[in-house]
Amino acid sequence: MRLLLVRHGQSEWNAARRLQGQADIGLSELGRSQADALRPVIDRIGPCRAISSDLQRVEETARRIGSTTPRLIGALREIDVGDWTGRAIDDIRAEDETLYQGWRAGTTSPPGGEPWATFAERVSAVIEDERRTPCRNLLVVCHGGVIRAILQRYVGIDPAHIIPVAPASLSALRLGNGKLPRLELFNYLPDSLEFGAPD
């Protein structure tokens, strides 16, 4: 099985550099065009089925990249950032840079937030459940943190060593058949390169 991991397009809060976590924020106009640009790539690959977080920014991205009926799964939601929900990233960093960097690395949690280990376990459980049903190319439309959790679980890359993936980017991971999981593609964008992902 190949996992086609797509992060949602830019949301209104991404554009404003505010943390979302599980807040249900819609796509910006740029986010819609980012998703539209990725659609021909996904069409060429031809996923056998699609799963998606149930938050609107992800569901809309799934539809825009060609999945008219993704199975919506609440356990694919982004990590819950607790008291940081809706706050500006610059304000959080100014308040406590060490805590913020620890959260990015998966070693600390925001006040009232979800621990990384709990989050990674719920995400992995979804993927393990999907592996029970054969599928050559499984489209997983989700959030940046979800992609980082999957990479940690299956290829052993700790969150501290993974840049946040770009909005509406594609990463691919091959699983199964007695071989170690392998990362095939990371942070691909159809019409640009992304070296400036925000930390």
Q: Which residues are catalytic?
A: 8, 78
Partnered with residue 6 across adjacent β-strands are 141, 170
Other Cβ atoms closer than 10 A to 65:
28
SS3 state at 83: helix
Q: What is the spatial distance between Cα 3 and Cα 140, in angstroms, rounded to a whole number?
A: 7
Please state the separation of Cα 185 from the chain's center in Å: 14
CA dihedral (145, 103, 28, 3) in degrees, to 10, reads -10
Bin 71: left if φ > 0, else alpha if -120 < ψ < 50, else beta: beta
CB atoms closer than 10 angstroms to residue 107 = 15
